[in-house]
Structure 1
Amino acid sequence: MRSWQEMNPLTLAYLGDAVYELWVRTHLLELGHEKVKELHKQAIRYVCAGTQARILHALLPDLEDVEQQVVLRGRNAKGSYPKNVDVVTYRHATAFESLIGYWQLTGQVQRMHWAFQQVDGILGEESPKEISIK
């Protein structure tokens, strides 16, 4: 397997998407949600591009230089995006997923858990903030 630096950031995002989705599903069960319809409704709230972009924005001030580089690569990756979300939001969501993929591939489980522990607080914020990445 190639190192994360040699990987296409969309490949990191592919992995990050799966890791984050598994965390969300497990987290919702831990919160006591049991009905499948409610689980699905809540999961959508966590995994939509707008939410992922908000999470990334909240984490940015605490990211290390190499993590910032991963985010920039993920944000700037060229690829298609869905029509139901603006391209900027989608690219920031991709950057978030790339960061999670990076943490997973490099075995930085504690760092990933640190980020996941902040998600509920971020979702509790009233309005999304403007996102700017160095």
Structure 2
Amino acid sequence: MSDDLKVPGFKASELISRVSETFSGLSDTDKAAQIKKVNGVFQLQVTNEAKEVANWTIDLKKTGTVYKGEAKPKADVTIILSDDTLTDLASGKLNGQKAFMTGKLKTKGNMMLATKLDGVLKVQPKAKL
């Protein structure tokens, strides 16, 4: 499943695959709790060093799934950032608020929902808490 999320030339592909696998591994109860907590659709518009653009969608409004491509129907928030910025956010090297303030991350749509991206990238099954 996660192989169809990979886009050659993007480090974020690995990260997106891990997020997808984590969501797939959640129990129905945990997935429902995540959907209730986040209640939004994120579209990640990522640009790599070669200036190529890839889009991934994280649906935490209805299905609790991750897929490659633009959000269908429409994302609640589109987050525009570089491949490096996304991997730094996920690893904790960079704070989302700092990335936004320095122009490394831009948003279209519900900016308050964008603040939940850090938590979405770090979702783990309850057993690990």
| TM-score normalised according to structure 1 size | 0.29
Higher RCO by CA contacts (8 Å cutoff, separation 6 or greater): 1
Larger radius of gyration: 1
Q: Which has more helix, going by share of residues?
A: 1
